[in-house]
Structure 1
Amino acid sequence: MKRTLNVVLALAFASMFLVMPVSAATSQGLSWGVTASDEFTYHYVFDVTNDTSFNEGMNLTIQTVPGLPDPLTSWDAIPEVTSDLVYTNGSAPGLEILGLLGMIMVGGYFAVPVGNFTLLSELAMDAAWWTENHTIINDGTYWGISYAVTSGDSTGTISSKYTKSDGVLAAYVLSQHNTTSGDSNSISFTRDDTGFDIMSFIQDNLVLVAAGGVVVLIALVACARKK
């Protein structure tokens, strides 16, 4: 029984620390979620009419992380986190890397600050490139920007999503679909390690976590009285 109580107590304390807010680096609550030398693995894929014609792994290594302006007043004022991008076999990319140019239409960054995604949304919507065809992506795990356009019987979309925990690009997708022929083409650049994000889950379910904490405390009191 004592061992069980210790385990429950440890979990309760861990939950308390997980929901505690992280101190902000700027007065607006922004900070970088990455540091120099952080590495991320991606899959760069071209699908042409449902036939995968290119599928290669790539490594992104963070090189420098600049300071953030305080306050940050425009999207273009977000400083660029510099990085090195190579294939997993060490070779440098060629002209095929031009497939990532579509990122310019949806913000153009490989990494964004974390901590205040409401502000990032406002800055993006005030940017010169923002149009009525742009939308914000904002859920428990990801924040990002999407662009969609229709011309005749073709629909095209471009989106960039960033993981809220570190602000690094999680997925970039450029796709085109022809409603008459049914043909679909896409370019995707997707991070390999974007699984379940416990921190984002806790932040988006604070009421549930708090209720769980109350249950744990009640259980502790009940167990203590039985001793």
Structure 2
Amino acid sequence: MTNTTTPAARVMLDDLGPYDAASIAGTCPNGYALPYFTLDTVRRLAADLDTARAQRGNGDTIAFDGTTVRIIDGDAGDDDADPVMEVCHPRADGTYALGHGYWTWHALPYPAEPGTVPDVVLTFLGDSMNCWSYDVTTPLDYYARAVLDGRADRTTTAEQLARQCAELDPRIYEWDLAVEVLHALAHGRVAYETVNGVPSDWVIFEPELGMREGGDVLPVLRDAFGGDFAAAARAVLARRLS
């Protein structure tokens, strides 16, 4: 476990969030972040978990007893004597650790400043990927997180990623797509280009988006990451906040 504490950040719990974390105490061996939250943020998370459980018919929830927070096992049956998974008390600074080690917390960067190159990249990523299926975006997000957590790099193969991620179906063929997309983004192959009428580079950004943003945006996007996998991975994850 990494114990280096970082200042305020934003985190996601699967598809819930983002939530403001007062600090993050590194990551678990499985790569999940270890965030701390104010009571106000815990109450917001509790409301989101209640909504998710009502929609899905299952899922963990949070109960309050004064300043004490209890995490309730969403899979507990009526016969379970104690459905409480964890009892959380405030630390000296008033923040709470929630689900450390078993909830899938992932740290995300803050949104880019409007008009900056990262902001333009996020706009393109969001427009291009929002129509993609869960089976595509989930492996891509996992690869991006693994790069930032030091569990993967530019040499990691789709097969290695599939073996590493026990929570996803290793047969999902989009693991290959996730690797190809991140490589393409990092190395600037982000525009629709043709050679003798045949597409020569990976199509992430449609030509209509380039026309909308102006003709000079495509060179900017091609040069945005310069082969930096970590920068491309951060942009992939940050698109959720755009």
TM-score by length of 2: 0.26
Whichever structure has more strand as a proportion of its residues is 1
TM-score by length of 1: 0.27
- Give the number of the structure whose alpha-carbon radius of gyration is greater: 1
Higher relative contact order (CA 8 A, sep 6+): 1
Whichever structure has more helix as a proportion of its residues is 2
